[in-house]
Homo-oligomer: A and B are copies of this chain.
Amino acid sequence: MASELTLYNSLTREKEVFKPLTEGRVGMYVCGPTVYSDVHLGNCRTFVSFDVIYRYLMHQGFQVRYVRNITDVGHLEGDSDDVDAEDKISKKARLEALEPMEIAQKYANGFHDMMRVFNTLRPSIEPRATGHIPEQIKMVQDIIDNGFAYEVNGSVYFDTLKFIEQKDAYGKLSGRKVDELMAESRDDLKNQSEKKHPADFAIWMKAAPSHLMRWSSPWSDGFPGWHLECSAMSTKYLGETFDIHGGGNDLKFPHHENEIAQNVGSCNHAGARYWLHTNMLLMNGRKMSKSDGNTITPTQLFTGDSPHVSKGYSPMVVKFFMLQSHYRSTLDLTNEALAAAEKGYRRLMEANQVLQEMRFTGNHQSGALDQDINGLLDRVTYEMNDDFNTPKALAVLFELVTKINSFKGGQLTMEGLTPSTFQRLQETFTVFIQDVFALENELVSAGGNDEFEVLDGVMKMVIELRAQARANKDWGTADKIRDTLNELKVVLKDGKEGTSWGVE
């Protein structure tokens, strides 16, 4: 069941065999967070999904350059490009009485912390929008030079109408009907009167006098439009044409559609060849929304401090829950589904522990069992090769979990299994759990007690058992306790307030 890696390309709306531009190498760009508030759970899902994709590509032998940006300028309230709209980061800086870059740093730190909690890898390059102003100014100039942008009062707008007329490249990704876009009239512009057409969008914005973040440019002291940074930074680090562009579904339009327009408008290349989009995270069947209370933060989910969950679910349980859905499906977060995910996560991790400690007890003959297990192991990769289908790959792993538990319980013997297949079984579990899905083992600390609390509680009991053994002149037990603790470098200290313990 050998298979090629195929992925669903949002651009063509088809599953395609993945052919990288350069054999053995992949360039992947993913739109990162706008760092003006704590990262949302929906964003976490997107970045966890692309982390698994990144890890799987590396597992498949690709050398991947994974670029994920930090948006720290240009993203205006309401995703607007009205020159009077406020920058999201500047606004937060005003509210928190901090410099915009302090805001960006604070929330970038928080984002990185959360990504670590979910055990994701850091990207190869994590460029910041403010760190690439010259590249963005150059791209604006190129687009102007190519006739696809115009300046009004120091701001520069992309001439979408002209672009549509001259290039067959607008609307493809998002499926927006170009006819409908063109039919919109200038009357729809309302106060955004600098634009020639409603479909036009800002690529450089003149800064109002009160605007904190500003750079000089040939057109004005201002700042780049939100869509521009991704075009400029993906081009800089991955080239004018590269392999994969990812992001959340909500970015398809206008962000990604406009990225393509900017790329074509500046250098006549469309950027990414494969576009991957993650779907939405729902809660209780509805879109998450602060205004109606149907929302939960990652931290609330971990601690259980929310009316929407009956208790806290650990980061790895939440991650497992995410991987149980395909990245292109909506994922509905409910307390019941999380509780089920917790059971599934534990079942998988326990079976893996059992498997890794298990010894081969088969008869070295290849029989039906060997074929069966090899077939399942092939299928794990087959499902992942099918557009990174994590739920199906997990389902196959669970078929193997049943076998592992049967080996352990004695309902199934290893007759007909070869040592090499058994070893492959062990390796596959290690690779997928640790390297691809990157699920950490939280079993020890899953009960709400942390390790130290458990250890402290057990040690207090051991101290009592030792005292009792001494009182009973049971020197065998007392010596056994002493020797074991010595070996573990645990020291007992007798003091005024009883015996305490510590580690040397």
Contact = CB atoms under 8 A, between A and B. Distances in A.
A330 interface: no
Copies of this chain in the oligomer: 2
Interface in A103-135: 105-106, 109, 122-128, 130-134
Contact of A99 (B65, B128, B445, B495): B65
Contacts of A125: 99, 101-102, 105
Nearest to A489: B447
Interface in A429-460: 443-449, 451-455, 457-459
A187 interface: no
Interface residues of A, number: 63
Contact of A458 (B65, B443, B449, B462): B462
Interface in A448-494: 448-449, 451-455, 457-459, 461-462, 464-465, 468, 477, 480-481, 484-485, 487-490
A437 to B, nearest CB: 21
A410 B130 CA distance: 62
A488 B125 CA distance: 44
A138 interface: yes
Interface of A: 65, 98-99, 101-102, 105-106, 109, 122-128, 130-134, 138, 215-216, 237, 350, 408-410, 443-449, 451-455, 457-459, 461-462, 464-465, 468, 477, 480-481, 484-485, 487-490, 495-497, 502-504
22 contacts: A99-B125, A101-B125, A101-B237, A102-B125, A105-B124, A106-B124, A128-B128, A134-B216, A138-B216, A408-B495, A408-B496, A409-B495, A410-B496, A445-B503, A449-B488, A449-B489, A453-B488, A454-B503, A457-B487, A464-B480, A465-B465, A465-B477
